[in-house]
Structure 1
């Protein structure tokens, strides 16, 4: 099998996957195939004769689990490499921006402030901010200045009558919550305002 892959040059849309070469068997290695794992489904992202591949068309702020297979000139396929999980970043420019800041932390909980900024040319009248926690042990316990809900790892924050309007070119609203966690408290990788992936400041 190929060695454990690594991810480099990760942006919001691309990543370069590299891995140690497999040891050839009875026939020379013809190519390597890179696959993304979606639960029980395996989706091929590309193939190459070398030991690195730059994959594109990725989703900003998403987590990807990939592995690599080697195929020899006789058509035989190797065992899978160990898996690699990596996350893409947020876009450098967007019609919205988010500032996410932990204000206080006591080891298994914290208070955070989330500022939503409309950087687009048009005012926003009514907004919903969403994100997905990277782990299953992170939780919004309670929040203020918005309606807060969490289903599984998905968080949904909806504006109130007082802050539903965000002026164009920099209008903002500041909301907050008390969070809880039972392991590493990893910040969200991406935020979406009314479905648009925001830049993170």
Structure 2
């Protein structure tokens, strides 16, 4: 997913009203608006596979999974993001309509144009979600998954899954075969 800046800054409330009238999605980062542009077939396929696997796994639990059309709001930096896939187990989020605010797991599928941002500034902001336990970056071309997990000491620890290794989403207790993740890619 690539981003293109839109110049006119606005408030979060103005953004929500404006965004509701747009045909394309935009992220809102402390007053700045950034258009999100298209994805590759590989990106869309992997994101869809992750969503389907999580949806099936979380059936009959208090957790719900959402795809790229649902926003998450980070209050601390007045920001709205559209993660590729995320899970929330929050009753507060289950009542929300326009955006969620307590993600447990966030998954981003990488592209050349966004990898540095997803690993850097975006991850720095995501770490401010008190509810976040795991941040997963998937590279569909290299077939590599980096899972950053919050440990008991408050540190983010990297777990790498490369090639055909089984992939673990520890925040939702899911272990899956990498072939299923990359199916149809």
Normalised TM-score (structure 1): 0.26
Pick 1 or 2: higher relative contact order, CA cutoff 8 A, min separation 6: 1
| Structure richer in strand, relative to its length | 1
| Structure richer in helix, relative to its length | 2
In our comparison, the structure showing a higher alpha carbon Rg is 1
